Chain A
Amino acid sequence: MNFEFKVQGGDFVRAGNASSQVKKILKQLNVDSAIIKRVVVALYEGEVNIAAHAFNGIINVEIDTERILIKLDDNGPGIPDIDLAMQPGYSTASPIVREMGFGAGMGLPNIKNNSDDFKISSVVGKGTHLEITVNLKSTKEEV
């Protein structure tokens, strides 16, 4: 199943819409709550990232019985140094964004922590592409 959501840059009020919707869908599908939680947290961070840095973005959520795959594509400045951006605490958020309580530099690391597979690619001046996979029979649960 596919679901698509649009995110506007700078619109923090509506950042969280997609994660709320996806949460409702996954609950209806009787997905394990621990897995839903990881999806929702990762997606919310992704939404906030688009709102904070990009002009606009599209989120595509693909659900099957094996995994949930989320693709986030934005039109924005892109990330010049992805390794640096992935470091916890590193942030380029503007002072305005920080004043709103966002931009602590934990977004990308947090997304990665909550996903089973995480891909990121970016073209400076064009935008950033994220792929987050959460497996339904998650390896993170097996001990």
Chain B
Amino acid sequence: MRACPTEALRVIEGKAHLHANRCIDCGECYRVCPTGAIIVEQDDFQNIFNYKRRVALIPSVLLGQYPDNVTPGMVIQALKNIGFTDVFEVEDSVEYLIPQINEYIAKNQNKKPIISSFCPAIVRLVQVKFPWLVGNILLIRPPLDLTASYIRGMLTSNGVSNNDVGIFYITPCAAKIAAIKSPVGEEFSELNGVINMDLIYNRTLHEIKKKNVNKIPNSFLSDLSARSITWALTNGEAVNIDGRCMAIDGIHNVIEFLEKIENDEVNGVDFLELRACDESCAGGILAAANRFITAELLRNHAKQFLKPDQSSNNQNKLQKYEQLLMGKINLNRVEPRSMVKLDEDMAKAMKKMERVKRLMCYLPGVDCGVCGAPSCLALAEDIVQGEGAISHCVFLQKIMEQNKLDPEHSFRIMKKIWGTNRFYKDCDKPIQNK
């Protein structure tokens, strides 16, 4: 509950409830949930078989998940064994994108700093928590979407029927799933489905362990350039963009920094690469390997090349499809969806704020969370919005019991928040040793 950076979670009847309009799909709650109660919705793997051309669109971080003796070639072979007909890398469009981003920044000097649209959790964070900064978001589609357009265009222009093409993204995070299921700044997504990286990791590793995959020596199959390989890592974008660029990872770090940007305390920055996860996509919540090891592995892959824009194969294959992509590179305007206002009407909002202030005089300020809200202030705001009661606070219950609150009743209130089971003896409750 307290892991949520936008205070979107409340505990009711022993379960975590999500305020959908506050949620930014960052997945921080998934990361910390002790019981695994939070699941990341994905498409049924069997759906891939509805298509003749079953494309696995993999992010480079997938190739950084496996043990040392599993080479990228073996992973791709394993993906084909489990049912895919084609494997493409998300970062295929990075070389094509870099000049486009630079051009965009040069043209939009009045919107500085430009905030990268790469991380969908960040786009949503800006919408709900920093609504004034939505105009700063880079209105260029991220590599995932652009590569999907490219694959679809390439396959259909080679005679494959559009209906036969099924593009499935293997995701390291929840935000990308949400971005595909309910895209921001796009009418539709070119992807047919999303499959969680942990599921793919298990299935492919199983194939490899069963020795259904030939040992393929460490020849690098991918034809990505060095900077494309590291694009999804922290500082992957920032080092390749002109001007003064900064890279910040970790949702709380990002929030802290955006506060400063919003206050005009930071000047002269041209471009901000902001990522919700620590170590960016290597730290995605559905990743299997340790994020630092994944990042190191990918950086080592990239080091095989002398120059950052050098690749093992023919680069910039997207150029051929320039015509097709030109119409698809831009995002529509991103609209704010502010969650912070207490009321549309300022006079009403002021009344509510006065009430919050008064409530805070009585609430203990220890932010224990026993009321089911992440902080005393969050409870006070819930009360004012009619979604909570002062008797939810254990401290105030004690005081109220001295007057007229029946102890039996306050017990019922706690059961209502945490569920009846919470009050039974349970030796098997999940305990996380730190």
Binding site for B on A (CB under 8 A): 1, 16, 19-20, 23-25, 27-31, 33, 36-37, 40-41, 44, 63-65, 136
Contact = CB atoms under 8 A, between A and B. Distances in A.
Contact of B343 (A19, A30, A64): A30
Interface stretch (B43-51, B52-60, B274-282, B344-352): B344-352
Best-buried of A16, A25, A27 by chain B (most CB within 10 Å):
A27
Interface string B179-201: 00000000000000000000000
15 contacts: A1-B350, A28-B349, A29-B341, A29-B349, A30-B343, A30-B344, A30-B346, A31-B346, A36-B132, A37-B264, A40-B264, A44-B263, A44-B265, A64-B350, A65-B346
A16 B263 CA distance: 8
B310 interface: no
Interface string B324-366: 0000000000000010111111110110011000000000000
A19 B341 contact: no
A19 B260 CA distance: 11
B361 to A, nearest CB: 15
B262 interface: yes
Given A44-B263, A44-B264, A29 B132 contact: no
Most-contacted residue by chain B among A24, A29, A44 (CB, 10 A) = A29
Given A20-B259, A37-B132, A29 B350 contact: yes
A136 B346 CA distance: 10
Given A1-B353, A37-B132, A29 B263 contact: no
Across the A-B interface, give the 4 residue pairs with the lowest CB-CB distance, nearest first. Answer: A30-B341, A33-B132, A29-B349, A27-B340
A64 B263 CA distance: 22
Given A23-B262, A36-B132, A136-B346, 7 more contacts: A1-B354, A27-B338, A28-B340, A28-B341, A30-B349, A31-B346, A37-B264
A44 B262 CA distance: 12
A23 B262 CA distance: 9
Contacts, number: 52
Nearest to B351: A1
Contacts of A1: 350, 353-354
Given A33-B131, A44-B263, A28 B354 contact: no
Contacts of A25: 353
Contact of B346 (A23, A29, A41): A29
A23 B354 CA distance: 16
Nearest to B344: A30
Contacts of B347: 65
A19 B344 CA distance: 22
A107 to B, nearest CB: 13
A25 B340 CA distance: 9
A134 to B, nearest CB: 14
A52 B350 CA distance: 33
B106 to A, nearest CB: 25
A25 B343 CA distance: 12
Contact of A40 (B263, B338, B345, B354): B263
Contacts of B343: 30
Given A23-B263, A37-B132, A29 B353 contact: yes
Contact of A20 (B263, B340, B341, B349): B263
B353 A19 contact: no
Nearest to B133: A33
A95 B349 CA distance: 45
Interface in B96-149: 131-132
A27 B341 CA distance: 6
B353 A28 contact: yes
A72 B346 CA distance: 25
A27 B130 CA distance: 10
A15 to B, nearest CB: 10
A1 B132 CA distance: 24
- Most chain-B CB neighbours within 10 Å: which of A16, A25, A28, A65? A28
B131 A16 contact: no
Nearest to B265: A16
